[in-house]
Amino acid sequence: MIDFDVEVDASGLNCPLPLLRLKKALMDMDSGEVVKVIATDPAAHLDFGVFTEQAGHQIVEFIKEPERQIFYIRKK
């Protein structure tokens, strides 16, 4: 289990809403903090991957389950 500072449950939301929820959470976080995001949108890993790479954040862990995806992202 990874320690995290903020949790965002984007279950049931489709693109671009999970990404927008992630961006909103990151705005209120300090550098080095970790956000846990739960998403059911099958394309979320693509959106989050591109966004974190471009913004300089780090996906610490990505867990793909049958019904959802869980991301742990460290703010740069």
Active-site residues, by number, are 15
Would you call 54 helix, strand, or coil by DSSP?
Answer: helix
Query: Residue 73: beta bridge partners?
Result: 35, 59
For the chain, the helix, strand and coil percentages under 3-state DSSP, each to the nearest 5: 30, 30, 40
